[in-house]
Amino acid sequence: MGTGTEVVISQHAMDCRRALEALRSGVPNREAVEMLGSNQAAAEQVFLKRLALVASSAHEGKQTPGLLIAGGFGAGKSHLLDYLAHISTARNFVCSRVVISKETQFFDPAKMYVAAMEGALVPSLSGEAVREIALRLQPNSPQYARFIAWANGEESGLSDLFRATIFLYDRLGNDPELVDAITNFWAGERIAISRVRQGLKQVGAAGLYTPQTVKAKDLAMERFVFASRLIVAAGFSGWVLLVDELELAGRYSLLQRGRSYAELARWMGRVEGLACPGLLTVGAITDDFALAVLQEKGDKESLGARLREKATDEFMAMASRAETGMRIIEREALPLESPGDNVLRETYKKLKAMHGDAYGWTPPELPAIGASRTRRLRSYVRRWVNQWDLLRLYPGTALSVETEEESGPGYAEDTALEHSGEPALCE
């Protein structure tokens, strides 16, 4: 039995409360991003211009050049990436958000792919990304015809294992177990070669393909190229990959830093012959990385030479790509804008309205705080939210809120970050 005094909270009020809770912890969620928007007009404009190039670049078999943004710890990099995800899905792009961590190392494309699939947002759809995308395929559409022609062409670079799974997906509607295994394989899981060969026999195509085991690293790259093409074939505008906390690579050992710089060059579409048409990558990194790691650790001057000392084709190619990646960090990273007075006023107004709508009250005006080059926007936001929280709970009480400037974890080498304890996915 109810007491008759229950208060019904509107959906909007609940959304505002969820947004404020996320902002208190300094980790913006979808509601906070939608309500606050972005205060990084320059980065947003560059992103929109690149986004507009994805379709034409994919048609030409090219990858749209990526974008690297740089900002201090707490400057709003993660918030901006969330906002770009919102923009992307609204424009019919599949969007994947990947956070570099001990479990997802930047130098490991296999783990990057699994993380990208697990974090993928498919416009207007829910559920497992690859499965939902595959269900959108229209066998009679021109996009699908182009996809099949590409997959079976020499330029695709796909192995017979991948070609066989694409062939079987269309022809085994009466074997849902194998179709399920194939979509799981496309999402990054293992698949038994014997099961694929058995499927080919079922449809009388045993001699059409010769599926064999593929190295985990090579398979991961096939998966990225395949997925970006599959997304376009399914009628989406393309694939946006957002990579956060790239600065963690600065704590890897020398060799894995080199691999990471080389991967950055590839993700940015700067490695000839390794493009992912239909993909646009945006990475976020701390603004002191170039000084603290490239210069003070000596990577800029010595890493390329150290890799070339190994005198193998693999390491010679890696050295060149790593040097490209380091140049991108040093010369091309787009710095986030420090919050000026106009940005602070607009953010303050939005937060005040949000707090009022969340709790059904009229938040009082707070003492003005001038813009500071050293204070991050997150610091202002948390200060205002905390002050209104206290004034709502203890009205009329003079309270002061002290906020400490946050600092990042630094760049001390930590090889534990290179080993998640999980084997790389392979067949």
Same domain, 27 and 88: no
Give the Å distances, CA to CA, from 213 to 155, 192, 194, 210.
20, 9, 10, 10
Residue 79 inside a domain? The answer is yes
Domain boundary (336, 362, 389) is at 336
Same domain, 329 and 341: no
Instruction: Report phi then psi at 101, rounded to 5.
Output: -160, -175
Whole-number pLDDT of residue 426: 39
Domain count, the chain: 2
Whole-number pLDDT of residue 377: 78
CA distance 130 to 181: 12
Same domain, 227 and 116: yes
Q: Which domain holds residue 229?
A: 40-133+220-295+324-336
Whole-number pLDDT of residue 250: 96
Residues 362-384: b if buried by 16+ CB within 10 A, e if exposed: ebeeeeeeeeeeebbbbbbbbbb
CA distance 48 to 26: 26
Whole-number pLDDT of residue 2: 47
Residues 377/71, Cβ–Cβ less than 8 Å: no
Same domain, 244 and 329: yes
Instruction: Show the tokens assigned to 175.
Output: 């074997």
Same domain, 118 and 260: yes
Spell out the per-residue pLDDT of the chain, length 427, in tens: 445 555 678 999 999 999 899 888 877 777 888 888 888 889 999 999 999 999 999 888 899 999 999 998 777 898 899 999 999 999 999 999 999 999 999 999 999 999 999 989 999 877 789 889 998 988 889 989 999 999 988 888 899 999 999 999 988 877 889 999 999 999 999 999 999 999 999 999 998 999 999 888 889 989 999 999 999 999 999 999 999 999 999 999 999 999 999 999 999 999 988 899 999 999 999 999 999 999 999 999 999 999 999 999 999 999 999 999 999 999 999 999 877 778 888 889 999 999 999 999 999 999 877 666 667 777 888 889 999 999 999 887 775 655 555 556 688 898 888 876 444 443 4
Residue 319 inside a domain? The answer is no
Same domain, 27 and 51: no
Strand pairing class (238-244; 334-335): unpaired
